[in-house]
Amino acid sequence: MLFRTILTSNALLLSLVLTMPAHAQSMVAGSAAADDVILEMNQAFKKGNSKRLSALLPQARGHALEPWAAYWELRARLDTAAPAEVQDFFLRFAGSYQEDRLRNDWLLLLGQRRYWSDFAAERAHYRMNDDREVRCYTLALEPLQSGPELAAEFKRQWYAQRDGDEGCLYAAERLFAAKQLSELDVWRKARLATEGNRPRLARQAAEIISKAAAVMVDEVNANAARFLKKRAVASARITRESVVLALIQLAKSDPDGTASILENHWSVHLSPEQRSWVWGVIGKQVAQRLSGDALQHFAKAKDSDLNDSQLGWKVRAALRQGQWKEVLAATQAMSVESQQESVWVYWRARALSRLAKTDVERSAAKTLYERIASVRGFYEQLATEELGQGITVPAQPEALSAEEKQAAQDNAGLQRALYAIRIGLRSDGVREWNYSTNLHTPGGMGDRELLAAADLACQNEVWDRCINTSERTKSVIDFSQRFPMPHKNAVLQRATQIGLDPAYVYGLIRQESRFIMDAHSGVGAAGLMQIMPPTARWTAKKIGLSNFKPAQINDRDTNIVIGTAYLKLVLDNFDGSMPMAAAAYNAGPSRPRNWRGQSGAPLLDAAIWAENVPFSETRDYVKKVLSNTTNYAALISGAPQSLKARLGQVGPRDASGVEPNEDLP
């Protein structure tokens, strides 16, 4: 049938069935035709075809994925469903992911309809607790005397939103009316929305204050430069705040010009807090261009008036300039939550260490390193090395018992998830797997249970769930699960053949695809090494791979051959710099060339260079690939490893005296 997209052989599917408990086997054995029904229902759900779903549902009775089929059918017509139908679903599939998923959807509908007594009653049974809009509705209904704690939690939820929703807008209106949100709180939301290219959210925020404010924000959104020209002064609060929004809008494309406009005219009309915010936006934009002028702009703002994103870019700019006092001050000005993140703990410790003049100050830096030191990530590994230790493989946890493994195999949610993944419903299976291993759900898992669940995923070669589940353990670390080596012979042989560090190849594949053979990105990258078709064609020609066809990048061996060949070409192109080659693999070679800095710029510690990568995705990617590589090297070699040695230093384009080959795609 059209919808049958089975991803594995019948033999693999049968092996999955045989690992299931007996009651589950009876539902799925020999159910190929029923699988087609499930797959067709999934397609009908995506198309919103409720009639087709209702017609197909009887054929899904008794199937292992019946809870999904029933969920799709009811969810597609939830707007018109009777409450009794919803309650029947909750009872029939009690304790399952599908029950809680539908409850999430039902709570949103109850909130939209303002059925608050029903919402409150149902909210008490909601286990997932990860939907921001549901949380906003809940906060809107909390007793108003809850005070600043409630408002602070709401602001964290609201400010973090990239896309608006009715629930959080409703909560904002309620809290503003109750004077638990100030005008400044609301305008800060509008500023964040403007900076994030979300004009509709900026207008929504302004409308909470007044219709006049919303009209003025409309003018800013239409043409920020024209808005500023129409106003010589800004005496009213809404005018001043709208001027701030206009300056933010202009700063995104022309930070230097906006700095001149602010300094020469608008600075005297704005409050110190408003000026600081605009200078923070200008400084951030200049820092993202890797300009040495960024700190001059940040210097005109008070750290206490900047948000965490602006402070983060102030830290990065200060790192590039070697201004450790500024690094320390900016990290100390961050919110409590951000101060606990390993990235800022590490840089604060580095600043304290560089500035220390007494044993007490040196001890304070050491204490911060000790707080995060481990093999769990990039900055954790760097902290470990700052303490004089190498990166080694942690002691293997006590072997799983037969009972622990059996408990994982008997977990209905895990088995449904594996089955869904095997027949091509990966996103649905991943959601159910994550739910079933979540500590906050009934039967939620501790470390030993997570290890057993990860083992189940590993045995079924569902490597992304193996890795992600094992990564959530707190007191133990199983490197064999976190850093598996599928396709070992193919990877090691190919890496050795072309002179690549196999740990680097594994570190990159783990980040690119989590070893999902048929992984496809939204932009067209494919396979284990996530190769773009044009890059594959260019590389195949470069290495003399004759008769190459684009479809071959989905073949494991071809993907490895082309991916490693391209990685080697990129690595050589950047003089063996692993961080720069990783950045080039992710963002294309031209960008890292520009990020190297101009001729005459000083050499940078590559950790500082990596932290200053302007693209958040690439910045995260480089750090994870290098961290992965170091751990894989420890596994492969059995000897202590150094992340610092792999990072090295990064200098301007002509630092080596050799210009890079410009023809890399």
Both tokens assigned to 478: 């199983």
Q: Chain centroid to CA 494: how far? A: 31
Cα 150 from Cα 163, distance rounded (Å): 21
Write out the DSSP string of 154-197: HHHHHHH-SS--HHHHHHHHHHHHTTSS-HHHHHHHHHHHHHTT
CA dist 516 and 29 (Å) reads 25
One-letter amino acid for residue 592 of the chain: P
Alpha helices, DSSP H, located in 57-115: 66-76, 83-92, 97-113
DSSP label of 341: S
Q: What residues pair up with 391 in beta bridges, in sequence order?
A: 641
CA-CA distance, 403 to 419, in Å (whole number)? 22
Task: Write out the H or E segment, with its range, that includes residue 620.
Answer: helix 616-637
According to DSSP, the residues that pair with 649 across neighbouring strands are: 605
Q: Which amino acid is at 10?
A: N
**Residue whose tokens read 């906006």:** 258
**Sole residue written with tokens 């779903």:** 53
Residues in the chain: 665
Q: Which helix (H) or strand (E) holds 650?
A: strand 649-650
Find, among 313, 374, 371, the residue nearest to 340 by Cα.
371
What is the C-alpha separation between 599 and 501, in angstroms, rounded? 30
Tell me, what amino acid is at 90?
F
Query: DSSP states of 564-586 as a string?
Result: HHHHHHHHHHTTT-HHHHHHHHH
CB atoms within 10 A of CB 197: 11
Strand 604-605 relative to strand 649-650, pairing: antiparallel
- Tokens coding 373: 């030191």
Give the Cα separation of 394 and 542 in Å (integer). 41
Cα separation, 505 vs 513, whole angstroms: 12
Q: Calculate ∠ Cα 293-296-298, nearest 5°.
A: 110
d(CA 325, CA 459) in angstroms, rounded, equals: 51
- CA nearest neighbour of 329 among 337, 317, 341, 273: 317
Report the DSSP beta bridge partners of residue 604: 650
**DSSP code at position 588:** -
Q: Mind telling me the catalytic residues?
A: 512
Whether 41 contacts 69, CB under 8 Å: yes
Query: Which residue is listed with tokens 């304070």?
Result: 364
What region, left, alpha or beta, does residue 598 occupy, with left being phi > 0 and alpha being psi -120 to 50 degrees? beta
Among 202, 215, 217, CA closest to 172: 202
Angle, alpha carbons 380-382-386 (nearest 5°): 115
Element (H, E) at 25: helix 22-28
DSSP code at position 615: S
> What is the CB neighbour count within 10 angstroms for residue 454?
29
Residues paired with residue 605 on neighbouring β-strands, in sequence order: 649
Widest pairwise Cα distance in the chain? 78
